[in-house]
Structure formats: C-alpha cells, structure tokens
Amino acid sequence: MQAVQPDQLRNIVITGHAGSGKTILAESLALSMGVIKRLGTIEEGNTISDYSADEIVRKHSLNTSLINGLWNGLKINIIDTPGLLDFHGDVKSAMRIADTVLITVNAAAGVEVGTDTVWEYTREYYKPTMFILTKLDADRASFKTTIQELQDHFGHLVTPIQFPADEGLGHHTLIDVLMMKQLEFNPDKPGEMAISEIPDLYLKRAEELHQQLVEAVAETDEELMNKFFEVGNLTEEELRSGIQSALLTRTFFPLFCTSPLHLIGTERLLNAITNICPSPIQRGPEHAICSADETKQLIQPNPDGPTLAFIFKTMSEPRVGEISYLRVYSGHIESGHELIDVQTGQLQKLGQIYTILGQKKTPVEKLLAGDIGMVVKLKDAHTNDTLADKGTSCRISPIIFPLPVLATAIMPVTQGDEEKISEGLHHLHEEDPSFALEHDVEFNQTILKTLGETHLDTIIGRLQDKFNVTVTLAPIRIPYRETIRLSSSAQGKYKKQSGGKGQYGDVWIKIEPLARDTGFEFASEIVGGVVPSRYLPAVEKGLREAITTGILAGYPVVDLKAVAYDGSYHPVDSSEFAFKIAASMAFKSAFEKAKPLLLEPVYSLNVYAPEQYTGEIVGDIASKRGKILGMETEVKMQIIHAHLPQGSLTTFHHALTRLTQSRARYSYSFSHYEEAPPDIAQQLIAEKKH
C-alpha cells in the first residue's frame, strides 16, 4: 500500500462496556472492507483483534488491537479496545491518538458503567463521538429504552440517525432518517444492503425523527439555522456537512444501529465514517510541549513538516521483541529514518515500518502525518515517548492513565527470584503503564497496584508465562504508629562492671505528647553539668533508635517530645555507648507510664457512583469504620466523600465491585493518623508478644 495523505485517512477507536459488541463490530467492519474472508467469533477464539492466548481463554479483549482497510477510496484505521474497566489504560491510550470515538451500546442492556466511563474519557480528550447501538437482533433488545437512557445520561444532543423497523430475533431492516430511506439486509448474504423507499408503516415515525435531526443539526450552526428558518428543511448534503462540523465541536452525537454478527448496518456505518468522521486535517493540530520551559505549541498534520511520531503502546512478542505502536502527527517516518527520542535524547534508527491487521504485520515504505502503524526493536523507547527530527524539542502531550487503586503485596515462590520479578514487572510496565509498582521500605514489601482483580490476575499470569517466575500474594502490612496520651518521666541507669573499665550512664527523661503529625522532638534541660554536653548526642541517638521500633507492638513512635533534664556520670566509666543505652531504658520506662496507644492510617476516599447505589455504599463504608464527610451530585453521579482506615481499603474495593456490579469508581489518598480501636490494638500487641 502506498503512503496515504492525511485527508484520505479516518482514525476510529471502538470503545464501550464489556460485552457490548466492540470486537464483533471491528470484525464486521473488516469483513465489509474485504480485509478478512469470514467473520470470526469470540466463542471460537478466531477474531482478528482478540488474538493473544489470554484473550482467547478469557473471551474478552485485554489489549488494544489495530485493523485497517479501504472504503470509498479512503483508508480507515480502526482500534479495538478492551471493555473491562481493569484494562482502561489501553482505552485511554487508544482514544488519545484517535480522531473519532465510537461508543458501542448493547440494545438489550442499555447504558452500562463502561458507557459512562468512556464518555468521561471523550470529554477529557474532547473527541468527536458517535454511539453505535449493537445487538438489535438479540432477544429483549429495545431501541426506544436505550435511546431514552442515552439521552438521560448524555443529553438531548444524542440523536438517532436510524431506527430498526424490526428488532429482536429476525431483525434485518433499518430506517435511515438522514437518507430518508429503508435499508434492508439479507442475513444469508451479509453485506448486501438494499436501499428502498420507506414503507408507509414507518414513514410518520421517520419524518418525526428526521425533523428532530434537522433541528438538532441546525442548532449547531447559524448559517444552517437561517436556512432552516427560510426553507423549513435541510438537504441531505447540508445535514452531512452540519453533522461533520458539529462532531468536531461536540455539539452533536449521532447514533447508528448495527447487528454486527449479520453485518446489519455495517456497510452504512462505513459510509458514515468516510462521509462525516473527520480526517486528521479536519480534526486539526495537535498539542505539543516544547523546549525546557514546557511551552505549548500546535503541531499541524503536515506530511512535509518536521517529523513528530508518538508511541501510544508498547508490547513484546516472542521471536519479534519490542513492538512500538505509534501515530505520526507531523512529517513522515520510513525505514532507516534517524530520529531522536525527545524524552531521552537517544538516537533511534527505525527499522521496517508496518501497518497492522490484528497480529498480521504488513511492511510499508513510509507513513505520513495522521497515519498509524508500528516499528520493532526500538532501543529504550516506551509508551508516551515522542520520536522527532534531530534538533526538535517538541513532544506530544502524554497519555494520562487511570490511577490504579487495588494494592497487593507480592512475594516470590522461589527464594532468590526477586531480581527476576523486578525485571519482569519492569518490562510488563512498559507494555501497560496503568499498573504501578512500589517498594515499602518499612516492611520490605513489593506492592503491586492494579485497576482491579482481573488486571492483577493478568499481570501475574503474564509474569509467569513470559518470564517464568511465580509469585504469591500477601496482605499489605499497615504502617501503624505508637504514641502517648500523658506526660511522664523515668530514669534510665546503665551500670556495668566486669573487671577493668566499666560502663556508666544515668539520665532522666521526661516525655510529653505533641499534636498529631508533629513527629518527634528532643530537647535538653540539663544544668550544672550533671551530664556533660559531650554525652547529649548519644542520649538523643538512644532515644531516636528507641522510637523506631516502638514499645507496644513494634511500630515507630510519633508525636512526642523527649526532654533530658537530669542524670549523673562517672569520670572514668561513662561513655557515649552507656548514655545511649541509659536513654533507651529511660524512654521505655516513661513510655509505659504515659498511657500509650496505637494509631492507624486513615485515608480520604472519594466514591463516584450512580445514585441508586448510594445507600448501600454509605452502609458499607460505615461497617468498615469509615466516616461519611459529605455528598455532592455531578451530572448523573453521586460523589461520596469519606474517611476510611487503610486496613479497610482492600475489602472496600471488593465490596464496591460487588454492590454496584462495577458501576462505581473511587480514588483515595492518605489523610492522617488516628487512634486504632482497642480490639485491633490488643491483637497487634498480642502478635508482638508471640
């Protein structure tokens, strides 16, 4: 295939809730374009976009995959994305580089949590968006109910372009209110669309929806509005032009109908993609961050401009190595091209350039601005990196991935595998930046943060399959703290005589509580030289060592002031070592008299959930010793603000998923420490004694 000019390109991403028909829609579009010979199915594991072993086993898309083909003389790049919320890192990366978003909606299930979530992404990226109603041939499919739900959720700008003449089993006819024609499909001969006049039975409804369409489009453009007032209607061409403009400004969201398993509506959808979806030229310039001072600049999709190509996904394949999926935003890329990785300054010499059809790679000479493809075996170039001509300081603004919330500690099954785990997770993180890896220094735990349990299972599975290393999961240890309620004082006297020079240190320590989050303070009120000043650093050191391991349950001591105020010394036997020991003895004794207590970490929690789940979520937070701070409404969602002990976060994740069927999301951050309940304190103290 020859290099395609930007105005001849359409870059489409298919998104939606899990099971809403994204992969089969991509499959049907590919079959209609003639790039595959037969329709694969998820059940048989033979679709072009779900080709990895774990996708075939799970029967869900877990990775972004690309398809491309020609229709009406234009090249269409289609990106199929996962529907499971656990893999929305791939959704955000694909949406970042696409020009139009298709949101699939199952006509038998209506608006689901994934529909809401990807809609929020389209708002974040300000992308032209179309809704694709799927599975109209399924039992319990309801066009009317689903349209109402979509308009309730996303506003009256969601406007049907078609409606089914029949729905449910046997569905094969659509009424198109833009063309004002009936479209009939033969399930026995998929793809053969017959266009005819609308029968009288459906004409009144078609005219009503056509009028709504005309009014909705006219509202988006002053010139069209004036024409509408003058004539009372708009031509099909004027409607197409108006829809295209309104897509770019997000003032119109057309809805198309499909049943991808029988290619019903597929050919019409391809026509719509080529006729109304924007090319890279129409979509306009891309934001880039330039030079050391982080200034913003607009990059035009000009094939003759300086080269800027953005890596939006990285993968590794057996016998191939590192694969970099990229979009060219300016200039072009070709084999042998020497570019700079703007992030690292490293020179990258490009090998063979490919376009992609699932797992099939087709070599091409070059890709021009606006196009999407891949290169292999780049050195240390990763997701979010920009490749550019030498001397260019601009980089494409990065993908902002969803924050991982489920934290789990992992340990090697085989001792000594720590390095292999670290190396394997580092490579996997390059492929999937939506998980995070942290090392807890206090407890020497490796913490893996993921978007959910399926995400966690997938990463651990890939770690074993690709790097032959097995891990077990462990509970995260909670960083409790110890402190005191009262002031107290005690003497610490260390005296040891065993022939020759002895050891002698004697110091009185007073301790007093400080405000929360103050830490530890040390002061001296020694007067008259009863303890020489040269020993005071040793006293402070003894105290600081004592607070690191605590007294009650072995946790660090915080929010306390210690004052050395009296003592004695021996001119021969005293030493820094003796005073360090004496100080720790005094501290332990004073601490035990000061009504010590355990503190637990408390996190600020924000939960975003549909209103119908609010009561159950509030009840669950309360059952986990959480405190509700307030609630507010944002569009169709309730936002619950709360405080929750860290120890309850993991069980809250599981409960929220179960209570809301994954329709809610949440975020959290550390807030403060507060007193742990007596039962938890007693359990931790008992564990230390054992």
User: What is the SS3 string spanning 155-173?
Assistant: CCCEEECEEECCCCCCCCE
Q: How far apart are CA 409 and CA 460, in angstroms?
A: 12
For residue 285, how many other CB atoms are within 10 A of its CB? 15
- For the chain, the distance separating the N- and C-terminal CA atoms, rounded to the nearest angstrom, is 72
- How many other CB atoms are there within 10 angstroms of residue 167's CB atom? 24
* Domain 599-689 top-level CATH class: alpha beta
User: Residue 49's pLDDT is what?
Assistant: 59
pLDDT at 330: 96
- pLDDT of amino acid 186: 80
> Quick one: three-class SS letters along 475-511?
CCCCCCEEEECCCEEEEEEEEECCCCCCEEEEEEEEE
Q: What Rg value do the Cα atoms of the chain yield, rounded?
A: 32
406-474: same fold as 6-283? no
Which of 146, 78, 133, 79 lies closest to 104, judged by CA?
133
- For residue 457, give Cα distances in angstroms to 54, 86, 423, 448: 11, 10, 18, 11
Homologous superfamily of the 406-474 domain (CATH) = Elongation Factor G (Translational Gtpase), domain 3 (3.30.70.870)
Across the chain, which has 690 residues, the per-10-residue mean pLDDT values are 91 92 90 83 63 57 83 95 86 96 94 88 95 91 93 93 89 93 81 89 96 91 85 86 94 94 90 96 92 82 95 82 91 94 91 88 93 90 92 89 92 87 88 91 92 90 88 93 96 85 94 93 94 96 95 94 96 94 97 96 93 93 96 84 94 90 87 94 86
Cβ proximity of 397 and 289 under 8 Å: yes
Q: CA angle at residue 111 from 105 to 113, to 5 degrees? A: 105
pTM for the model: 0.85
pLDDT recorded at residue 116: 87
pLDDT at 593: 96
CATH code assigned to 481-594: 3.30.230.10
List the one residue out of 28, 49, 50, 53 whose CA is nearest residue 38: 28
Look at strands 366-368 and 181-185 and give their pairing. Answer: unpaired
Q: H-helix or E-strand containing 367?
A: strand 366-368
pLDDT at site 430: 84
Single-letter residue type at 519: G
Phi/psi at 256 (nearest 5 deg)? Answer: -115, 155
pLDDT at residue number 164: 94
> Residues 241, 242, 245, CA angle at the centre, nearest 5°?
90
Question: For position 450, what pLDDT does the model report?
Answer: 94
pLDDT the model gives residue 157: 94
CATH number belonging to domain 286-396: 2.40.30.10
In this prediction, residue 626 carries a pLDDT of: 96
Q: Which CATH number fits domain 6-283: 3.40.50.410, 3.40.50.300, 3.20.20.140, 3.10.620.30?
A: 3.40.50.300
SS3 content of the chain, % helix, strand, coil (to 5): 30, 35, 35
208 class by beta-carbon count within 10 Å (0-12 exposed, 13-18 middle, 19+ buried) = exposed
Residue 507 is encoded by which pair of tokens? 């110091």
User: 3-state class of 116 per DSSP?
Assistant: helix
Residues 6+ apart with CB under 8 A from 163: 143, 174, 175, 177, 205, 206, 209, 257
Could you tell me the residue ranges of all domains in the chain? Answer: 6-283, 286-396, 406-474, 481-594, 599-689
Residue 605 is given by DSSP the state E
Q: Is 43 exposed, middle or buried (0-12, 13-18, 19+ CB in 10 A)?
A: exposed
Map residue 674 onto helix, strand or coil.
strand
> Which strand (E) or helix (H) includes residue 255?
strand 253-257
Can you name the residues that pair with 160 across neighbouring β-strands? 255
From its phi and psi, is residue 265 left (phi > 0), alpha (psi between -120 and 50) or beta? left
Sort 338 into a burial class: Cβ within 10 Å, 0-12 / 13-18 / 19+.
exposed
Return the pLDDT at 172: 87
